[in-house]
Amino acid sequence: MSGRIVTLPNLLSFLRLLGVPLFVYLLLGPHADLSALGVLIFASFSDWLDGRLARAWNQVSRLGQLLDPLADRLYIVAALVAFVLRDIIPWQLAAALIGRDLVLGLCLPVLRHYGYGPLPVHFLGKAATFCLLYAIPFLLLADGHGLPSTVARPIGWAFAVWGTALYLWAGCLYLVQAAGLVTRSRRLGEEAGR
């Protein structure tokens, strides 16, 4: 793993992060939904590309491993907040997803205290993020009228329901993993103190 900060994959991740405020503005300001979808498509493509380039060019970095899930979380949270404000989704759905991230975020200082970094991403977490990121454009299209909205609505809600279930399940797995690491560290500390 590279310790370099200035790499093309990291630059793509930074660009993706810079798109979050634009994405929110387009959703809440002028309701320019197609433009917001364009930002989301760019973010999705750059997410795929930065990972591929990092692996191909041996530029996987600790910074990139932090920026990548951060960008995903920010797009999801931004969409959730905007969708609640526009009455596209119920606030309870957004609260469950954001609450999961807050709980896991509170685990980070505890893990750091015991000498651990952020937990590695599970396949289940990746699948959940995939579903939620696919739900966003379909739910946005479902907010309109006509045939595209009618077609997009069940697809968007299917991705949202599956994504939410997987997201919460993955969160439980992360909590179990974090608790196991803390318990193990405490046990080792007690044994060393004897």
Of 110, 130, 109, the closest CA to residue 121 belongs to 130
Whether residue 120 sits in one domain with residue 177: yes
Task: Report d(CA 54, CA 61) in Å as an integer.
Answer: 8
Predicted TM-score (pTM) of the model is 0.85
Whether residue 61 sits in one domain with residue 6: yes
| Residue 129, amino acid | T
Whether residue 121 sits in one domain with residue 55: no
Burial class (CB in 10 A: 0-12, 13-18, 19+), 78: buried
Encode 144-163 in three state secondary structure: CCCHHHHHHHHHHHHHHHHH
Whether residue 124 sits in one domain with residue 111: yes
Whether residue 64 sits in one domain with residue 111: no
Region 31-59 average pLDDT: 91
Identify the pLDDT of residue 87. 95
pLDDT in tens, 62-103: 888 888 888 988 999 999 999 999 999 999 999 999 999 999
Whether residue 137 sits in one domain with residue 99: yes
Of 129, 122, 137, the closest CA to residue 177 belongs to 122
Whether residue 148 sits in one domain with residue 119: yes
Residue that terminates a domain, selected from 87, 121, 143: 87
Whether residue 130 sits in one domain with residue 81: no
Whether residue 99 sits in one domain with residue 59: no
Whether residue 63 sits in one domain with residue 2: yes
Q: Is the pLDDT of residue 1 over 80?
A: no
Whether residue 114 sits in one domain with residue 75: no
Which residue reads 């045939």 in tokens? 147
Residue that terminates a domain, selected from 37, 52, 87: 87
**Count of the separate structural domains present in the chain:** 2
Residue 33: give the domain boundaries. Answer: 1-87
Residue that terminates a domain, selected from 21, 52, 87: 87
Identify the pLDDT of residue 152. 96
Whether residue 57 sits in one domain with residue 13: yes
Query: Between 194 and 56, whose confidence is greater?
Result: 56
Region 167-176 average pLDDT: 97
Q: Is the pLDDT of residue 194 over 70?
A: no
